[in-house]
């Protein structure tokens, strides 16, 4: 782990630090598995080293089996937190890998598979996380659904409904259920996206939800500051996750994914993990109502 970590943090050209397009076409059925991607994403399995920033903390991370959520869960554990992992049953193979990595750090991993588009499950998810972890002081709403469509006429009512329920309703239900358990000093971090500010034409419903996440986070931050709870969001640009080849992008876009940003490549999930660690930690004690961008140079405005 140390060697890979040291290599990652060596001063180097960020344009060539990780794989650059072109990539192979690699269609998957949604929700997709990280293990089937080529090249495999770096979630920090061997390259993230913790420093005790979250010692004793208890975190719930949605979409924790792969992509950004997986990188966050690994980083949180290596910073000293116990982590409850939310994911759908089909993603169990990836989630079990994450649990083993968490447990290898001497931390507790709680596997909580289920469908967050169901309100009752969201409430059960929080209840089980609190019971199994012995409390809750970090919530990361990260799970997302993204399905590209060339025209609004191609977006079915079923797709629109599921995208909004996965990305917005679930965030609302889980946050509402979690807040009564969260003490002063707790942190909520929501995963938005650069598409909230510059929506591509093929992601009408997804971009709508990501703009909603930005507004939700800013409004909730103003509300919860009276309780000493901080709320922030992260707005990633193109990141190499299973969301992209499993319907998030057309396969022709997967081949050149990340080439449109100034850095010329997609981000790797481990490159976002330190942002979530910072926002979850006491080091960010003066940070609330903010949206942190990591866009490869495109910006969020």
Residue 259 lies in a domain: yes
Structural domain including 280 reads 54-294
Residue 3 lies in a domain: no
Which stretch of DSSP H or E encloses residue 111? strand 109-113
Residue 268 lies in a domain: yes
DSSP state of 211: H
For 154-210, write each residue's pLDDT tens digit: 999 999 999 999 999 999 999 999 999 999 999 999 999 999 999 999 999 999 999
- Told to judge if 48 belongs to the known catalytic residues of this protein, a careful annotator would answer no
Q: Do the beta carbons of residue 163 and residue 206 sit within 8 Å? A: yes
Distance CA 231, CA 31 (A): 27
Which stretch of DSSP H or E encloses residue 2? helix 2-9
CATH number at residue 169: 3.40.50.720
Q: In what order do the strands lie in the sheet with 187-191?
A: 109-113, 82-87, 58-62, 138-141, 187-191, 230-236, 291-294
Residue 16 lies in a domain: no
Which stretch of DSSP H or E encloses residue 230? strand 230-236
Residue 42 lies in a domain: no
Residue 38 lies in a domain: no
3-state secondary structure 142-182: CCCCCCCCCCHHHCCHHHHHHHHHHHHHHHHHHHHHHHHHC
Q: How many domains does the chain have?
A: 1
Q: Is the pLDDT of residue 1 over 60?
A: no
Residue 1 lies in a domain: no
For 66-79, write each residue's pLDDT tens digit: 999 999 999 999 99
Cis peptide bond N-terminal to 125, omega within 30: no
Residue 250 lies in a domain: yes
The β-bridge relationship of strands 82-87 and 230-236 is unpaired
**pLDDT of 301:** 61
**pLDDT of 247:** 86
**pLDDT of 9:** 83
Q: Which one of the listed residues 48, 169, 197, 206 is annotated catalytic?
A: 206
For 118-141, write each residue's pLDDT tens digit: 999 999 999 999 999 999 999 999
């Amino acid at each position: 782990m140390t060697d890979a970590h040291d290599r990652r943090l060596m001063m180097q050209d960020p344009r060539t630090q990780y794989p650059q397009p072109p990539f192979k076409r690699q269609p998957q059925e949604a929700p997709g598995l990280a293990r089937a991607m080529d090249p495999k994403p770096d979630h920090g399995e061997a390259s993230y080293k913790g420093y005790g920033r979250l010692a004793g903390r208890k975190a719930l991370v949605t979409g924790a089996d792969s992509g950004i959520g997986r990188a966050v869960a690994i980083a949180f554990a290596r910073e000293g937190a116990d982590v409850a992992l939310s994911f759908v049953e089909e993603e169990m193979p990836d989630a079990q890998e994450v649990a083993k990595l968490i447990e290898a750090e001497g931390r507790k991993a709680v596997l909580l598979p289920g469908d967050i588009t169901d309100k009752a499950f969201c409430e059960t998810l929080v209840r089980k996380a609190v019971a199994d972890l012995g409390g809750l002081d970090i919530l990361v709403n990260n799970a997302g659904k993204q399905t590209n469509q060339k025209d609004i006429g191609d977006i079915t009512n079923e797709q629109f409904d599921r995208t909004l329920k996965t990305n917005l309703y679930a965030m609302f239900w889980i946050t509402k259920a979690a807040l009564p358990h969260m003490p002063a000093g707790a942190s909520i971090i929501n995963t938005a996206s650069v598409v909230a500010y510059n929506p591509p034409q093929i992601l009408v419903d997804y971009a709508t939800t990501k703009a909603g996440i930005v507004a939700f986070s800013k409004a909730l931050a103003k509300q919860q500051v009276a309780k000493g709870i901080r709320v922030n969001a992260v707005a990633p640009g193109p990141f190499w996750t299973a969301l992209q080849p499993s319907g998030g992008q057309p396969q022709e876009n997967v081949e050149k994914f990340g080439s449109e940003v100034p850095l010329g490549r997609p981000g790797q999930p481990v490159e976002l993990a330190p942002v979530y660690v910072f926002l979850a930690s006491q080091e960010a004690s003066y940070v609330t109502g903010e949206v942190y961008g990591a866009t490869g140079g495109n910006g969020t405005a």
